[in-house]
Structure 1
Amino acid sequence: MKKSLLALAALGTFAGAAQAQSSVTLYGIIDAGFVYNNNSAGQKLYSLNSGNLQGSRWGLRGTEDLGGGLKAIFVLENGFNVMNGRLGQGGDEFGRQAYVGLSTAQFGTATLGRQYDSVVDYTGALEVGSQWATYFGAHPGDLDNMNNSNRVNNAIKYTSNDYAGFKFGGLYSLGGVAGQFNRNQIWSVGAGYNRGPLQLGAGYLNVKNPNSSFFGNNATSSTTGSNMGGSLVYSGYASAHEQQVISAGAAYTIAAATIGATYSNTQFKDVGTDGGAALNPVGYTGGTAKFHNAEINFKYQLTPALLLGLAYDYTKGYGLNDAKYHQGMAGVDYFLSKRTDFYVAGVYQHASGTDSTNQTARANINGLTASSTSNQVAAIVGIRHKF
């Protein structure tokens, strides 16, 4: 009897030790707001919207200490629409992130699954759409993916440890098409520095067959039609064979003020060569659509609870289009606590030239139905709670 009790006590001790070396955390964000759009295909639109400053989500994050500085890690993260309870990311259960891997104290982290690319990791946080301006303030159509509109499936990813503020990493996604190794292939690399008042980042992204591999990698995506119809900035380029993004950004803080800037060059290559007529209604027969994008931004922490922001973004198309988009943004973020804040943001966009559909460019703020004219204004008031 005594031996049985001792064995049970020992088993309980080992179980407690194992539990102490492992952890699973439930976390999430609920973000909801009231949106005004002055011109949604010619009409004013008042609506409620989910996931503005940050996408509404819940997730599980876990670690297990394997000894010797080695850990097993995982993340399962679901996106949802708080207004109707539906799944986000095209109906995927864990459409925001889903990965498992190993992390070491010496060599960094390697993971497998659905993950973020290096443009998002190293330059995304430097654009105001990922800060205080809401995703309506992202670069037009989020054409460079700095606002993380698209994730990467089937990805092998490496992230280094932090070396005195410097980190680097890369990602490779297998296309998974028999006999066509390069089809649907995605790869990216990037690096960043964040120490003291200075933050720097740079990223590169290369996507083969972007309509299916990048824009169309959700459960409800079309296998034959266009998945790039969300923005007139690039909706005419669904037949592109390749997408390339080069990005860089910087921010410098002086006391309560931070000034920042980003630059990206986005190219849709060999337009008209991938897929049939359904992906190419304009009738492109080759060539490359290119975009310069430059943003300058400023934020000021007026009090520990009150943040003010201003930004200007300029997008210039060349190659297959000559569209230009001027975008101004202003915002206020007030923190009631570390976990709950109220925000107000406004976005104005003016378009000119000829867009991807070979029509006169119309204003098309990210996430909204295009305007019927060259101008569009959006305003939002919302609340965000983190848990």
Structure 2
Amino acid sequence: MPASHRSRVGAILGLAGACALGAVQSAHAQSSVTLYGIVDGSLLYTSKSLNPATGQSAGHQYSFTDSGLSGSRFGMRGAEDLGGSMRAIFELESGISIANGSFGNSNGNEFGRQAWVGVDSRYGTVKAGLQFSPFFLAVYDFDPREMSYFGSGLITYLNNVYVTGLFNPNGISYTSPEIAGLQASAMMALGGTAGNFQAGRQYSASLRYHLGTLTVDAALYSGNAGGSAASIAIPSVVAFDGRAIGASYIFNSLTVKASYVQYKVAGSFNDRVYSGGASYRITPALNVDAGVWVTRDGNHSSNNSILASTGLEYSLSKATVVYGQAGFVTNHGAMHTGLSVNNALNEATGTTAGVNVGMRHLF
């Protein structure tokens, strides 16, 4: 073979090899960033409203309400392939109010819902930063109405501990892969106060078992007052111990859920919340659900409430849903369980009825 020809062949092979190597390196370095969000607005009517000074009704209300079904938000999540089935991941999520354009449905900061970075691999997922606790995620998963902002377990959660456990600053968490149907998750949130490790310290854990369409989950939470989170716009340092156990089962188009959650708040309620309900997909575009939440104070049996609600959702497209919701709550003693996270989180003594209609768009 002539020398010049061998030279050309060598150059071509060298270029091909370089391209192949570059392709492999590019595959290992692939990264993506996804922008996403929810815009949700509705009209709300309640037959009563709470007068905080007296605990009695201040009269009925009509209002425009941000987030009747899901909390309005904007966020971005990203991932980079590090090779060896390992990825660097992050998420930044800001809660917003479409009623006035301000921060909402969060701890009041710019990215007050989630702000964390982590690593995901076949050995599990590690996250560091502001994040949801395993306790809250377990309570969320077994709520029969998927934590709707009207008439759901999210109201009983916020009534007891507000945003503690939802938005955990300074958190470090680990979630294992699922092995033989079992998956564990644990989180420690550091208080950030020099010389006082216990101030604002929060920890949480959960253990889930999954078999076919049956899922069972148990979770706990322990949080202290104080720490750096006490200075956040909406503090998330209510001192409480939480315990939860729940189960769900899917029968074709029917999903049934039930749970027990305890919120033992320092110097206040020792509430036990029993809930159950179901959702049924009538058609691919039409879904109906209903649930009941019974709350009893273990310290004073005269403090109790019953919340019941139902909802109907119709999908106009994959991204847009119109919905209607109705419910009632009955409060006794010092209990003030509400009907809606926004505009009616607390309600007066006695029975209050309400309805909510709105639209939600995902992007």
**TM bucket normalised to smaller:** 0.7 to 0.9
Map 1:230-309; keep pairs closer than 5 Å.
242-269=239-266, 271=267, 289-309=269-289
**Is structure 2 residue 119 aligned with structure 1 residue 98?**
no
**1:207 Cα deviation from its structure 2 partner:** 0.4
| CA radius of gyration, larger in | 2
**Is structure 2 residue 354 aligned with structure 1 residue 374?**
no
SS at match of 1:43: coil
Q: Supply the distance in 2 between the matched residues of 1:221 and 1:301 (Cα, whole angstroms).
A: 37
Aligned to 1:33: 42
Q: Supply the distance in 2 between the matched residues of 1:369 and 1:313 (Cα, whole angstroms).
A: 15
SS at match of 1:150: coil
User: Residues 120 and 146 of structure 1 are in contact (CA less than 8 Å); yes or no, is this contact kept in structure 2?
Assistant: no
**1:40 Cα deviation from its structure 2 partner:** 1.4
Residues 109 and 371 (structure 1), Cα distance of their counterparts in 2 relative to 1, 3 Å cut? closer
Q: Supply the distance in 2 between the matched residues of 1:250 and 1:316 (Cα, whole angstroms).
A: 21
| 1:316-362 per-position Cα deviation (integer Å, ceiling 9, x unaligned) | 00226741101111111111222211111112110112x2xxxxx45
Paired AA for residue 77 in structure 1: E
Paired AA for residue 212 in structure 2: G
Map 1:107-256; keep pairs closer than 5 Å.
107-131=123-147, 133-138=148-153, 139-140=155-156, 142-143=158-159, 150-163=166-179, 165-209=181-225, 216=230, 218=232, 220-221=233-234, 242-256=239-253
SS at match of 2:26: helix
SS at match of 2:208: strand
Residues 146 and 248 (structure 1), Cα distance of their counterparts in 2 relative to 1, 3 Å cut? farther
User: Residues 141 and 364 of structure 1 are in contact (CA less than 8 Å); yes or no, is this contact kept in structure 2?
Assistant: no
Q: Supply the distance in 2 between the matched residues of 1:290 and 1:100 (Cα, whole angstroms).
A: 35
Residues 369 and 203 (structure 1), Cα distance of their counterparts in 2 relative to 1, 3 Å cut? closer
User: Residues 130 and 147 of structure 1 are in contact (CA less than 8 Å); yes or no, is this contact kept in structure 2?
Assistant: no
Paired AA for residue 134 in structure 1: Y
SS at match of 2:60: strand
**1:10 Cα deviation from its structure 2 partner:** 6.3
**TM-score, normalised with respect to structure 2:** 0.83
Q: Supply the distance in 2 between the matched residues of 1:146 and 1:202 (Cα, whole angstroms).
A: 21
Residues 352 and 298 (structure 1), Cα distance of their counterparts in 2 relative to 1, 3 Å cut? same
**1:196 Cα deviation from its structure 2 partner:** 2.8
User: Residues 134 and 345 of structure 1 are in contact (CA less than 8 Å); yes or no, is this contact kept in structure 2?
Assistant: no
Q: Supply the distance in 1 between the matched residues of 2:47 and 2:349 (Cα, whole angstroms).
A: 11
**1:179 Cα deviation from its structure 2 partner:** 1.0
User: Residues 273 and 294 of structure 2 are in contact (CA less than 8 Å); yes or no, is this contact kept in structure 1?
Assistant: yes
RMSD over aligned Cα atoms: 3.0
User: Residues 248 and 264 of structure 1 are in contact (CA less than 8 Å); yes or no, is this contact kept in structure 2?
Assistant: yes
User: Residues 126 and 249 of structure 1 are in contact (CA less than 8 Å); yes or no, is this contact kept in structure 2?
Assistant: yes
Q: Supply the distance in 2 between the matched residues of 1:165 and 1:30 (Cα, whole angstroms).
A: 35
Residues 362 and 56 (structure 1), Cα distance of their counterparts in 2 relative to 1, 3 Å cut? closer
**1:123 Cα deviation from its structure 2 partner:** 3.0
**1:191 Cα deviation from its structure 2 partner:** 1.9
Residues 381 and 262 (structure 1), Cα distance of their counterparts in 2 relative to 1, 3 Å cut? same
**1:177 Cα deviation from its structure 2 partner:** 0.8
User: Residues 289 and 311 of structure 2 are in contact (CA less than 8 Å); yes or no, is this contact kept in structure 1?
Assistant: yes
Q: Supply the distance in 1 between the matched residues of 2:223 and 2:167 (Cα, whole angstroms).
A: 12
Residues 362 and 97 (structure 1), Cα distance of their counterparts in 2 relative to 1, 3 Å cut? closer
Aligned to 1:285: none
Residues 145 and 170 (structure 1), Cα distance of their counterparts in 2 relative to 1, 3 Å cut? farther
**1:258 Cα deviation from its structure 2 partner:** 2.0
How many residues matched?
A: 339
Q: Supply the distance in 2 between the matched residues of 1:126 and 1:14 (Cα, whole angstroms).
A: 44
Name the % identity. Answer: 29
Moved more, 24-33 or 148-157: 148-157
**1:62 Cα deviation from its structure 2 partner:** 0.7
**1:150 Cα deviation from its structure 2 partner:** 3.1
User: Residues 192 and 200 of structure 2 are in contact (CA less than 8 Å); yes or no, is this contact kept in structure 1?
Assistant: yes
**Is structure 2 residue 328 aligned with structure 1 residue 312?**
no
Aligned to 1:231: none
| 1:220-251 per-position Cα deviation (integer Å, ceiling 9, x unaligned) | 247xxxx89xxxxxxxxx7xxx3000011111
Q: Supply the distance in 1 between the matched residues of 2:180 and 2:295 (Cα, whole angstroms).
A: 34
Q: Supply the distance in 2 between the matched residues of 1:381 and 1:149 (Cα, whole angstroms).
A: 29
| 1:281-318 per-position Cα deviation (integer Å, ceiling 9, x unaligned) | xxxxxxx6311110010222111211111211100002
Q: Which runs of 5+ in 2 are unaligned?
A: 1-10, 51-57
User: Residues 29 and 80 of structure 2 are in contact (CA less than 8 Å); yes or no, is this contact kept in structure 1?
Assistant: no
Q: Supply the distance in 2 between the matched residues of 1:243 and 1:174 (Cα, whole angstroms).
A: 16
